[in-house]
Structure 1
Amino acid sequence: MSAKDTLRRNKTGIQTILCGDRKFILDKVFENDLITPREYNNLKSINKEDDEGHVVELVDKIMNKGEETCRDFLDLLQTDEDIKSTFPSLSNIQLPGARPLPRPVQVSSSHSEVFLGQDKKRPKMDDLYPLNSQPVGLCLIMNNVNFTDGSVRRGSDKDAQSLAEVFSELGFRALMCKDQTKDQMEQTLTWFSSLNDHALPPQEFRVEEWSGTGFTEPQQPLNHGDAFICCLLSHGVKGAVLGTDRNPVSIKHITRSFRATEQSALTGKPKVFLIQACQGKDEQCGVLVKDLEEDNCGGGSIPVEADVLVAISTVEDYVSFRHRIDGSWFIQSVCQQLRERCPRGEDLLTILTHVNNDVSQKEASSQPGEKKQMSEVRFNLRKTLVFSPHHT
C-alpha cells in the first residue's frame, strides 16, 4: 500500500491525536522540511476556531504534496522521539515500517547541550558563548506599572512574572525592580553594570527575587555569571524608555552602561536587553501580500560595544500593544518561544526571529490589517547564544 493511501486510511485517527498539540506538530513538520516557509506561515495563521481545523489543514497539505512527502511524514511520526513522547497514542495506529531518520549529533559543554540535525553545520565550541556558571547569570526585570501622573500599565505584572518564570527555568536568578523614576532606573543600571563581587543591592533599589511562587527580598548576595538579561517594561518614546516620572532614559544609555571595560565582570559575555515600550504614538497598519515567493574572534581584544543584543517590542515611531490581563504581545511571545525552542537547542537569534513573525501576525482590531505591530532585533553578538533549561 502506498504511503498516501496509508495516510488516507488512518487520517481521522492521526488527526485526532495530533490535535493534542497542533503547534508542536506544525513546527516539527516545518523543521524537517516537509513544508516551505510560506506554507508554514500560511498554516500558522489560517482562520480556524479549533485545533482540529488546523491539523486537518496540515494533513491535507501533506497529502497534496505527493507520495514522497506522505512517506516522510509517516516516518517522522514513527521515528521522532519528541513526537512519540508527545503523542504516545500514535503507537496504537498500525503504520508500515519506517525508514530511520538521521540521528542528531550532540554538541555539549559542561553545563549545556545543543542538538542539531545531521544536515546542519556542527558549531565549534569556540562559536558558542560558554554558559557554564551556576546560576547562568542575572535576569533584571525593571517593571514600571504605576506612574506619577496616575496612569497604570495593567498587564505588566503578568509580563514580569512570565519573564521571571522562564528565565529561572533557563538557570538565571530573576530579579525585579518595580516603579522606578528615571534617576532610580539609571542608578540601578549603574549598580548592576559595576557589580563585580558578591553583594546585596542597596535597600533603596527595592530589588526583589523570584522564588518560584512570587517575588521576595533576595537572601543571597548577587554576582554576575556568564550572561546578563535586562528586561525593561514601561511606557516609551522614540529611542527611550520612561521612568515612572515620565522622564526618558535613552536605550543607547541603557546598553552603553554595560560597555566592555577591563573592570567589568561582563566583558566578553552576552548582554541581552528585552524592551517592552512604545517607540512613538503612530499605529501601524498592515498590507495584504499575495503570491509572495521566498527566495571566530581571532584577536586578543574586543570592541567596547560588543556582545549586546537588543530586542524591542516595536519599531521606531509606533505603539506596541499590551493586554490588561494577559500581558503584552511581545513579552508573552518571547516567553512562549523560549519555552518551546530552548529545549530543542535553537539559538536566541533564531528564537527572536520566530517572535518577530509571531508578533507580526497578531491583530489589534477586528478589521484585519488595521492595527499591527512589528518587533525589532538589533545585535552585535560575536558568537551563537544558546540557552538550555536547567532542572533543579
Structure 2
Amino acid sequence: MFHINIIRRNKTALLDILSVDRRRILQKVQEHNLITNREYRNLNGIYKEDEEGHIVELLDKIMGKGDETCQHFLDLLETDDIKGTYPELKSLQLRHTSPAVTAPVQETCDEPYPVNTIPRGICLILNNINFENNELKKRRGSEKDAESLGEVFSWLGLRVLIDISELQKLSLKEWSNGFGDLQKPPPKHGDVFICCILSHGKKEVVFGTDKKTIPIKDVTRTFKSSNNSPLTGKPKIFLIQACQGNDYQRGVVEKDLETDEGSVGSVPEEADVLVAIATVENCASFRNTAKGSWFIQSLCQQLREGCSRGDDIHSILQCVNSDVSQKEGSNLPGLIKQMPEIRYTLRKKLLLSPFNTEA
C-alpha cells in the first residue's frame, strides 16, 4: 500500500498536471506494460466531459493493479522524458524509497486501513419498507435509496447484499446492475464491512418490520472485535437512515416529504467503528417519496465525488453533513432543517477508490 498511498495523496495534483496531455501519459504507461492493450483501448476510447476524467480513470486503473504497478508508475513519472512533458511534476514529492526500518514502527493516524481484497468487502443493506403495525407507515421512496447504495458501493468494489424485509418475509438479494438472486459461493468478509439500515426509528433505536425496536449500540456491538472475529482491526461502517425522534427542526413538512419516525497488539472491542445517522437525537429525518431520503441520496453523491478525489470516508461524511444541512423542507428558508450526525472510533483513515473489474 506504500506506493498506492503516494499516488492517492498526490491524486488531485496529478490530475491537474497530467491532464495537459493525457494521450502522452496513456501511451507511456502502455509502452511500459503497466496496462494491457485492451485497457489502453478502453481508456483511450471512453467518453468524458473533460480531460481530468480520463486521468481519473487511468489513476484508478493503476491503483487497482496493486502496489508494485504503482511503484513502476511512480518510476515512470521520475524519468526525464516524462518530466520534460510535464515539468510541474518536479514540484511533487513522489520519491518512493522507503526508509530502512530497524525497529517496529508504531502506526500513525495518517496510515490508512489496508483495503486489498477482491471484493474489497461486504455492504449489507437492510431495507424495511412495510410494517405490521399500521402506526408505522410504508416507507415509500426507500427503494430508491437502496438502489443508489447498491450502485455506489458496487462501484467502489464491495459485494452488495440486500435484505428486503416485507412483514417478516426475508428476501436476500445481490446487486449486479440491479438486485437479483444471490450469487454463489457464500460471501466472504473482505477488508471492509458496511451496514446500511433503512427503517423507521426513534431516539437511539431502529424499528424492525414487526415494530420491535433494537438499540443502535446493540447493532454495532454485534460486530465488535474479538479473538475469533474476521473483522477485528477492520473498519466497520454503519449508515443509518431513520428518525431519532418526532421533533421537527422548526417548520412544516411539504406534502411530498415523509418522516422516518416511530423512531500483537490488541484492539479495543469497540474500535474501528463508524456510525453515521441521518439526524441528530430527538429529531426527524426526511425522505422524498419519489427521489429517496435527503441523507442517503447526499451520501451516494458525495461518495462518488469524494472517492474519485481520493478523500477518506470521514471527510466525505463531513461533506454530507454540510450538504444536508443546507437543504430546506419548506418554502420559508430556515423553518425545517436536518442535521446528520457522525460517531466513530476509527483508528486510521478509510480510503475507497472506484474499482474497475475489467481485465
TM-score between both structures, scaled by the size of structure 1? 0.62
Say whether residues 1:142 and 2:142 are aligned partners: no
- 2:271/2:346 contact within 8 Å kept: yes
Q: CA deviation at 1:220?
A: 2.4
- 2:147/2:178 contact within 8 Å kept: no
C-alpha spacing 1:167/1:78, structure 2 compared with 1 (3 Å): closer
Say whether residues 1:177 and 2:163 are aligned partners: yes
Q: Distance in 2 between matches of 1:132 and 1:245?
A: 39
1:332 aligned to which of 292, 297, 304? 297
Residue of structure 1 equivalent to 2:149:
163
- 2:129/2:166 contact within 8 Å kept: no
Residue of structure 2 equivalent to 1:380:
345
Q: Which amino acid aligns with 1:81?
A: S
Q: Percent identity?
A: 51
Q: Distance in 1 between matches of 2:284 and 2:323?
A: 17
1:6-53 CA distance string (max 9 Å, x none): xxxxxxxxxxxxxxxxxxxxxxxxx89xxxxxxxxxxxxxxxxxxxxx
Q: Distance in 2 between matches of 1:81 and 1:236?
A: 47
Q: CA deviation at 1:337?
A: 0.5
1:277-316 CA distance string (max 9 Å, x none): 0000001139xxxxxxxxxxxx711100000000000000
Q: Distance in 2 between matches of 1:337 and 1:119?
A: 28
Say whether residues 1:154 and 2:146 are aligned partners: no
C-alpha spacing 1:213/1:279, structure 2 compared with 1 (3 Å): same
Q: Which amino acid aligns with 1:129?
A: Y
Q: CA deviation at 1:215?
A: 2.8
1:187-216 CA distance string (max 9 Å, x none): xxxxxxxxxxxxxxxxx8531111213332
Q: CA deviation at 1:247?
A: 1.3
C-alpha spacing 1:144/1:77, structure 2 compared with 1 (3 Å): closer
- 1:282/1:317 contact within 8 Å kept: yes
Q: Return 5+ residue gaps in structure 1 as ranges.
A: 1-30, 33-75, 89-103, 185-203, 287-298
Q: Distance in 2 between matches of 1:83 and 1:335?
A: 31
Q: Distance in 2 between matches of 1:80 and 1:368?
A: 43
TM-score between both structures, scaled by the size of structure 2? 0.67
C-alpha spacing 1:82/1:317, structure 2 compared with 1 (3 Å): farther
SS at match of 1:302: coil
1:252-272 CA distance string (max 9 Å, x none): 000000010111110000000
Q: CA deviation at 1:119?
A: 8.8
Residue of structure 2 equivalent to 1:322:
287
C-alpha spacing 1:167/1:361, structure 2 compared with 1 (3 Å): same
Q: Return 5+ residue gaps in structure 2 as ranges.
A: 1-11, 23-47, 52-58, 75-90, 97-106, 252-263
Say whether residues 1:308 and 2:285 are aligned partners: no
Moved over 3 A (4+): 76-80, 82-88, 107-113, 117-120, 122-126
- 1:140/1:174 contact within 8 Å kept: yes
- 1:207/1:218 contact within 8 Å kept: no
C-alpha spacing 1:305/1:118, structure 2 compared with 1 (3 Å): farther
Residue of structure 2 equivalent to 1:266:
231
Residue of structure 2 equivalent to 1:81:
19
Q: How does 1:172-321 map to 2 (within 5 A)?
A: 172-179=158-165, 205-285=170-250, 300-321=265-286
Number of aligned residue pairs: 267
- 1:134/1:225 contact within 8 Å kept: yes
RMSD: 3.3
Say whether residues 1:129 and 2:113 are aligned partners: yes
C-alpha spacing 1:277/1:133, structure 2 compared with 1 (3 Å): same
C-alpha spacing 1:83/1:259, structure 2 compared with 1 (3 Å): farther
